[in-house]
Amino acid sequence: MKLATVRADDGFHVVAVKPDGYVDLGHGDVGSLLARPDWQSLAADGEPRQIDHTRLAPVIPNPGKIICVGLNYRTHITEMGRDLPEHPTLFAKYPEALIGPHETLTLPPESDAVDWEAELAVVVGRRVRRADRAAAEAAIAGYTVMNDVTLRDWQFRTREWLQGKTWEATTPLGPYLVTPDELSPDAVISCTIDDEVVQKSTIADLLFDAADLVSYISSILTLNPGDVIATGTTGGVGHARKPPRYLRDGQTMVTRVEGIGEMITPVRRAL
């Protein structure tokens, strides 16, 4: 099953994604749908119709929490010159950081070091606290795609990363939520910049997988339907290159996870 959130004249609508179009499930977004215990049955029926893909919103526009994991792909840990961590490295984003899967990323004028980070994101589907592995797996509604666009110069101003990670309107999220049965355990994840593949791996390279993260994070605080966990990026980020490379005006960034879909993000400098 695939779900999406679209912008309509009267606000957000949640839709089920079918091969021949979208089934409008009414007012709300994917996050509000997941708060209903019968959400899976609600998405089963309806007549598909075409919707302009540019109207796709962040699949969860207003998550209660966006918890991100750093240094979670072995390839990325290696390229950043770090040891494998014993525990997940956590930081946060806020909903203001999110943009839709086809919206323009406007480069913040405060930075000349805006980097790409393709990520698989977990979407929580039920309230969970102190989950063991079985409960953690059951709490996962599905997966989506994120690009954890990072302002490296701001990230490394201090030892804490938050200020480089949650810049307003810099984080594409979408295009769809897919239920766990539709995602292969070795799905390919990639990022291209102007058709050059800069990141490519599989989600099997994750050090801490989705259930690990739900279990660990739910030990700290309650996770609720619609909360988002970004699982970390793979090798190939611009900051680790020699010399470093960053996003530039006029480029196009495409972030893909096999089985979910792709986000096409034009990159423009603010006028």
All residue ranges of the chain with pLDDT < 70 are 44-47
- Alpha-carbon Rg for the chain, nearest whole angstrom, is 18
**H-run or E-run covering 213:** helix 210-220
Q: How far is CA 55 from the centre of its chain?
A: 18
Q: What is the pTM of this model?
A: 0.94
Measured CA to CA, the distance from residue 29 to residue 32 in angstroms comes to 5
The confidence score (pLDDT) of residue 127 equals 97
Written as six digits, the tokens of 26 are: 């009414």
CA 42 vs. chain centroid, Å, equals 24
- The residues, any chain, with a CB within 8 Å of residue 177's CB and separated by 6 or more, are 2, 3, 4, 30, 59, 60, 123, 141, 142, 143, 144
pLDDT at 52: 72
Domain extents for the chain? 60-269
pLDDT at 45: 65
Q: What is the model's pLDDT at position 46?
A: 63
pLDDT recorded at residue 204: 93
The CATH class, in words, for 60-269 is: alpha beta
* Predicted local distance difference test score (pLDDT) of residue 77: 77
Provide the 8-state DSSP code for 134.
H
Task: Note the pLDDT of residue 47.
Answer: 67
